[in-house]
Amino acid sequence: MQKKTIKTTLEKSNHHKLSIQFTLDGFSFCITNLDSQETIHFCAYTFPKTLETPEKLVAHFETIFQEDNHLQEDFKEILVIHQNSLATLVPNKLFREEHLKDYLDFNIKTLKTDFFAFDNIDQLAAKNVYVPFVNVNNYLFQNFGEFEYQHSTTAFIKKLLQTTSAPGKTMFVDVWKDQISVVVLEDKKVLFSNSFSFTSKEDFIYYLLFTAEQLELNTNEFPLFFTGDILEETEIYKITYQYIRNVDFLRSKNPIFMNSSFSNHTHFILLG
């Protein structure tokens, strides 16, 4: 397991917020001083390989939780973010809470044992329906009590709307291992949002070009900003630049990156 940390001076306080993001590839968390709104600690754990089940994720986290003193605080607020591809957006006018499973069944295969949840995204007049890691939620509730949780797509969209201004049609792509979350904005309006799995660079560029074609975006003109696990020297970046000319990273202004070896477009959902 790989651990990367941005260390800062961290004093015990009851005015700290814990934000923690889970995937089957690992998890990362940051601690924020609620008085100053400053990010005062960040840590990312990456597993050697993708875990097969959420149950194994809980087992790994339980071990780390007992060893990492930064997770032992009495936090004022806690936000848990579930990152997976088991989500879909539903307009408010079509939404019925008793049909959560039906919405997801249009796009993915769900199980009888799955638990379904939804987030309100007021800016879209829509709900994000998804399958959270319920085992993770149960473990955290046992150790922290009540907390807020949401899907990574919800967090990504809200963070983009808070921190960016896109007067023209602009594509934002958050990359994590073999998944991407694609959002297209225009004047603070979400035109498109979806997640895709990829196994090759050809898969990767196909989904970006497919999205561009659906929205009639000129690949020589529209801006595309990457966040997450991607660098200029990676093959997926290189092939993107072959087909889409206006490519850049969405760089965070969070001061914590000044003390870090992390690129400032990474971990956007937590640190953007």
Give CA–CA dist 272/134, Å, rounded. 26
Q: What are phi and psi of 229, to 5 degrees?
A: -90, 70
2-83+135-150 shares its CATH topology with 165-249: yes
Q: Which amino acid is at 184?
A: V
CATH class entry, domain 165-249: alpha beta
What is the per-residue burial (b if ≥16 Cβ within 10 Å, else e) of 177-207? ebbbbbbbbeeeebbbbbbbebeebeebbeb
SS3 208: helix
Q: Please state which CATH number belongs to domain 2-83+135-150.
A: 3.30.420.250
Count of Cβ atoms closer than 10 Å to residue 106 Cβ: 8
Residue 215 pLDDT: 97
> What are the tokens at 56?
């194994």
Q: Which amino acid is at 96?
A: R
Q: What is the pLDDT along the chain (272 residues), one digit of tens a residue?
A: 787 777 666 666 778 999 999 999 999 999 999 999 999 999 999 999 999 988 999 999 999 999 998 998 899 999 999 999 899 999 999 999 999 999 999 888 888 889 999 999 998 899 999 999 999 999 999 999 999 999 999 999 999 999 888 779 999 999 998 899 999 999 888 999 999 999 999 999 999 999 999 999 999 999 999 999 999 999 999 999 999 999 999 999 888 888 777 889 999 999 98
Domain range list for the chain: 2-83+135-150, 87-129, 165-249
pTM: 0.92
Q: Which residues pair with 161 in a beta bridge?
A: none
Residue 231 pLDDT: 96
Q: What is the sign, positive or negative, of the torsion defined by CA atoms of 127, 24, 47, 180?
A: negative
Q: What are phi and psi of 234, to 5 degrees?
A: -75, 150
Residue 105 pLDDT: 92
| Cα–Cα nearest to 226, from 239, 210, 213 | 239
> What are the tokens at 95?
């939404």
